[in-house]
Amino acid sequence: MMGLLAMTACQKGSTFTVEGTIEGAKDSTLYLYNRSLSGIVLLDSVVLDADGDFRFSPQAPVGGPDLYVLRVNNQWLNLAIDSTETVTVKAKMPGMAQNYTVSGSEDCVKLRELALMHSQLQERVFQVEQNTQLMGQTMVDSLNAMLRRYKDEVTLNYIFQAPQSAYAYFALSQTLNHLYWSTAPIFQLNDSLDGRAYRAVATCWKEYYPESERAQQLYNMVERDITSSRIAAARRQQLQEEDKIVVSDIIDLQLPDLQGHLRTLSELRGKVVLLDFHLFSLPESGARILKLRELYDRYHDRGLEIFQVSIDPDEHFWKQAVTSLPWISVYDPEGESCISYNVQAVPEFFLIDRNNALQKRSSQIEDLDRELESLL
């Protein structure tokens, strides 16, 4: 099975329980999986007898809710577990995926509703795609209208009702299979309406479950999308206002630091400047800051200054992140400075010499220490 990972170790701690009965599945194997971010992880299995009774008690999730799956043959049933609850499932084969009840967890009840709605949507999509009277743009318009109705219902009645819930997260992860093209996510982060749903869930999960990997993953996705949107908007504005950009040897920047003082690149004439564009919410931020600290400690006394531009949308988060940094940290949540320097993605950096002349960007630098030595 693609993406199947073996559970290699059991950690001590609290457990949750999934129990119940699967009728009509004598001698079939029932599997319990964790739908982890890295793949499907097998937790336990049992061969069902004539009664179909089963009971699993694996390690409880840590940091926040997690998603699980029960499978018999090709029938899948989705579950969500928050901590140490007991979930009871009663199902019948064949058709377990549609023919089951669940109790003991509101999240699991809502997941069942979403799964049944999704199954009906999938069937309608196949019907539209098989309809020979609908061709080209007419088919696309019909599918888009169908998806919009589904997403509006799910957003209003599930996601916005409880954005901190496991079922809200699950709703965003739903996909559709198509007859004529590959599987695609139902909710698209770059869609303006869908984006509101993503941001609601990401914000609540980050607040309720700050240690959850799922919360961090979702929040990072939203942050990247916001950053990309701001860069695109700033690029459009730049094209309209090119005459307002002042360029001499460098494109000067004027941005507020932690104390609210406006800092500029031009004030650093006489120093070698590493102009750095950064996003502190990225997972790799911590390691990159350590490397910059090593460079700063090694070369600052010889004339190196770091001018770091943060484009994090959360100003409070940025202030907390830069409090102890020794170099110049400025804030540009709209990302206009990124456009001025044609930054396509962050992190990114440039080297500026003592005469305030722009020398190289990161892609042109093979050995940063050697470049700094030559400029200092």
Q: Could you give the C-alpha distances from 227 to 75, 117, 317, 343, in angstroms and in order?
A: 40, 33, 15, 11
Q: Is pLDDT of 203 > 50?
A: yes
More confident residue, 38 or 231: 38
Higher pLDDT: 146 or 138? It is 146
**What is the model's pLDDT at position 182?**
60
**Which tokens go with 203?**
């914000």
Q: How many residues does the chain have?
A: 376
Q: Once rounded to an integer, what is the mean pLDDT over residues 244-259?
A: 72
275-321 pLDDT, tens per residue? 999 988 777 788 888 899 999 999 999 999 999 999 887 788 788 88
Distances 292 to 144, 197, 286 between C-alpha atoms, Å: 47, 36, 10
Contact predicate 32/45, CB 8 Å: yes
Neighbour count for residue 283 (Cβ, 10 Å): 9
Return the exposure string of 183-221: e unless at least 16 CB atoms fall within 10 Å of the residue's CB, then b. eeebbebeeeebbebbbbbbbbbbeebeebebbbebbbe
The pLDDT value given to residue 230: 72
Beta strands in 279-375 (DSSP E): 304-310, 328-331, 348-352, 358-361
| DSSP character at residue 61 | P
Residue 277, strand partner residues: 309, 348
CB atoms within 10 A of CB 318: 23
pLDDT band at 335 (very low <50, low <70, confident <90, very high): confident
Instruction: Please check whether residue 215 is in contact with residue 209, taking contact to mean a CB–CB distance below 8 angstroms.
Output: yes
**Under 8 Å between Cβ of 91 and 22:** yes
- Cβ–Cβ under 8 Å, residues 251 and 341: yes
Alpha-carbon Rg for the chain in angstroms: 26
Residue found by looking up tokens 């999960």 in the block: 205
Beta strands in the chain (DSSP E): 4-6, 17-23, 29-36, 39-47, 53-56, 66-72, 75-81, 86-92, 100-103, 175-176, 184-185, 254-256, 262-264, 272-278, 304-310, 328-331, 348-352, 358-361
Measured between alpha carbons, how far is 184 from 178 in angstroms, rounded to an integer?
8
CA distances from 285 to 95, 144, 290, 313, 338 (A): 47, 38, 9, 15, 18
CB 202 within 8 A of CB 173: no
CA nearest to 332, candidates 312, 305, 306: 312
**pLDDT above 80 (res 78):** yes
- Look up residue 279 and give its amino acid: L
> Does residue 94 have a cis peptide bond before it, meaning omega lies within 30 degrees of 0?
yes
How many other C-beta atoms are found inside a 10 Å radius of the C-beta of residue 358?
A: 17
Triad 94, 99, 105: Cα angle to 5°: 135
**Of 223, 124, 117, which is closest to residue 171 (Cα–Cα)?**
117
At residue 361, does pLDDT exceed 90? no
CA distance 24 to 30: 12
Q: At residue 375, does pLDDT exceed 70?
A: yes
What are the pLDDT digits (tens) for 86-106?
999 999 998 888 889 999 999
